[in-house]
């Protein structure tokens, strides 16, 4: 009888221990789930290699894992509007300000900038080389030269369309104009293989390996300025948003440590992005 009672007590202790272990595992799993966020961003931040450089630094500082979903800016904004991301990090200021005005974020903060460049074959058959993007696109249209547009509602695509509109040839971009509906890297690959002109962000271009005989033909036009912004998705719109963790990312990337990390990211000794959160806040 005593042995039976002792056995029952042993079973109870084992079950209690198993319960503590299970509870601990569940708590650890819940904590792990809370220590990760989703950032909807652009292909340029990913394909330039910036996030691969930044995110390990953020993880060391915060313990928070970041999953980046890299899309065209328009698609990234749509993803954030649906509540499928905690943070939005993109480069189309007009669309970003509308995102805030529509209540999907409390505010937009500027993070960094670089510039757009017109890439094309070294021989430059349309004669675009210079520092005037509008004049260059007019020459592309007049020559019916091949031009690959991303055509994906990205920040780069939005900028390209603005430049075309300035040429007054918006309805006639030339017979060589084609939309690929793709990211920056694939658009550059198509351009390299077909000898076409492509508008690209400088960061992705500097990290691009399959250049063939492609070179930068147009740069330095102030209209090519390319600003990036970051926004915490509103929990009022989407209660599932990880506000605390997302805010830590926003604070870090716009703070001293994150801005220093952005400035220190270089390829071949050339800086890809220039932090300006502090300047924008003044």
Q: Do domains 35-113+227-281 and 114-224 have the same CATH topology?
A: yes
Where are the chain's structural domains? Answer: 35-113+227-281, 114-224
Closest CA to 200 of 176, 177, 212, 217: 217
Rounded to whole angstroms, the Cα distance separating 235 from 241 reads 5
Q: What is the pLDDT of residue 173?
A: 93
First CA to last CA across the chain, in angstroms? 81
Q: Which CATH architecture has domain 114-224?
A: 3-Layer(aba) Sandwich (3.40)
**List of E strands, 126-213:** 147-149, 177-179, 197-201
Category of 71 on φ-ψ map: left (φ > 0), alpha (ψ -120 to 50) or beta: beta
Rounded to whole angstroms, the Cα distance separating 209 from 192 reads 10
* Count of residues in the chain: 282
Q: What is the pLDDT of residue 103?
A: 98
Q: What is the pLDDT of residue 172?
A: 81
Q: Average pLDDT per run of 10 along the chain, which is 282 residues long?
A: 54 50 44 76 92 97 97 96 98 96 98 98 98 97 97 94 87 91 95 97 93 97 97 98 98 98 95 90 66
Q: Which CATH architecture has domain 35-113+227-281?
A: 3-Layer(aba) Sandwich (3.40)
Q: What is the pLDDT of residue 21?
A: 46
What's the chain's Rg over C-alpha atoms?
25
Rounded to whole angstroms, the Cα distance separating 29 from 227 reads 38
**List of E strands, the chain:** 36-42, 65-71, 87-90, 109-121, 147-149, 177-179, 197-201, 214-218, 225-232, 266-267, 270-271, 274-275
Whether the model clears a pTM of 0.85, i.e. scores above it, the answer is no
Percent of the chain as helix, strand, coil, to the nearest 5? 50, 25, 30
Closest CA to 186 of 227, 133, 149, 225: 149
């Amino acid at each position: 009888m005593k042995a039976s009672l002792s056995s029952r007590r042993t079973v109870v202790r084992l079950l209690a221990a198993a319960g503590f272990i299970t509870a601990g595992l569940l708590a650890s799993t819940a904590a792990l789930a809370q220590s990760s966020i989703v950032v909807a961003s652009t292909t340029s931040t990913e394909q330039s290699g910036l996030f691969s450089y930044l995110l390990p630094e953020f993880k060391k500082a915060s313990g928070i894992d970041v999953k980046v979903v890299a899309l065209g800016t328009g698609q990234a904004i749509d993803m954030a509007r649906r509540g499928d991301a905690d943070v939005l990090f993109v480069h189309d200021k007009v669309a970003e300000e509308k995102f805030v005005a529509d209540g999907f974020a409390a505010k937009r903060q500027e993070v960094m900038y670089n510039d757009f460049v017109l890439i094309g074959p070294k021989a430059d058959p349309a004669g675009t080389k210079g520092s005037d993007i509008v004049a260059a696109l007019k020459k592309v249209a007049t020559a019916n030269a091949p031009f690959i547009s991303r055509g994906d509602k990205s920040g780069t695509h939005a900028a390209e369309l603005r430049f075309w509109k300035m040429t007054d040839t918006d309805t006639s971009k030339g017979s060589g104009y084609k939309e690929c509906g793709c990211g920056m890297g694939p658009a550059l690959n198509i351009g390299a293989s077909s000898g076409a002109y492509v508008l690209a962000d400088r960061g992705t271009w500097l990290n691009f390996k399959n250049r063939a005989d492609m070179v930068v033909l147009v740069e330095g036009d102030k209209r090519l300025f390319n600003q990036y912004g970051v926004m915490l998705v509103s929990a009022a719109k989407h209660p599932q948003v990880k506000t605390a963790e997302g805010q830590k990312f926003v604070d870090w990337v716009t703070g001293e440590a994150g801005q220093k990390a952005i400035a220190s990211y270089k390829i071949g000794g050339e800086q890809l992005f220039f932090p300006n959160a502090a300047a924008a806040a003044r």
